[in-house]
Amino acid sequence: MVILLDYDGTLTPIVSKPGEAKIERDKKDFLEELSKRHTLGIVTGRSLDSFKEVFGSVPDTIYLITSHGVRIYRGEKLLKEFTDGKMPDLNPLKHKLEGKEGLILEEKEGCFALHYRNFKGSEEEVKRLFREFTKKHPPRAVIEGKKVLEAVYSGRDKGKAVEDFLKFIGWDGKERVIYIGDDTTDLYALRKVRELGGLPVFVGERKPPEAELLLKDVDEVYEFLSGLK
């Protein structure tokens, strides 16, 4: 079985600051044990460094797909990199964000994210600043998630990440593929897994059309994973 998992909001609850989404030790140990029985990959919008801040060292039995598929790691060893996009200079945007407490600009490989969960100003102000920058430096895609705006310059999304990862590991179509995610960015992956005949699982209050199964929260994710043979 191939099990692909989002991180933030799926393996750990959504928190006010991205750096606080640390996984509990017993849950990390559980994932490592699961990865010894099945092919397990974590598909995240984070870079390797950002992921390690909240996960710690990555076991060699776990695949890590970072920045929506820009890089594929096994543990912390880089196996494959897709360099099909150039990032713009973010300094002009950083300058405009100075003094706006609660806004977090996260630089990644091939994309950037503007988090505004803790911003006390208006959401429209954040979106205006984001639009002004991306109008001057058009990305290949803009993804709006839970209190976060992402500009993707690499041509990657999680659907493409899933497709490329399965191709990379030599998936022959016989093993069942499961993907679990909770945000807008995960819908691309859910759609791809559905196309491939796998099981797309969404975490949240309502099941989107892309999903076949709904889990209400992180606890239910681990209950579901515990039931896999």
Q: Which amino acid is at 134?
A: T
C-alpha span between 98 and 95 (Å, rounded):
5
Instruction: Output the six-digit token pair for 220.
Output: 């239910």
**145 and 172: one domain?**
no
The pLDDT tens digits for 110-146 are 889 999 998 988 999 999 999 999 999 998 888 888 8
Residue 84 pLDDT > 80: no
**78 and 127: one domain?**
no
The pLDDT tens digits for 7-27 are 999 999 988 787 889 999 999
Residue 103 pLDDT > 70: yes
Number of domains in the chain: 2
C-alpha span between 47 and 118 (Å, rounded):
22
**45 and 148: one domain?**
no
**46 and 147: one domain?**
no
In this predicted structure, what is the pLDDT of residue 14?
87
- Domain with 124, as residue range(s), is 91-152
Give the closest residue to 134 by CA, choosing from 147, 152, 116: 152
Domain CATH code at residue 50: 3.40.50.1000
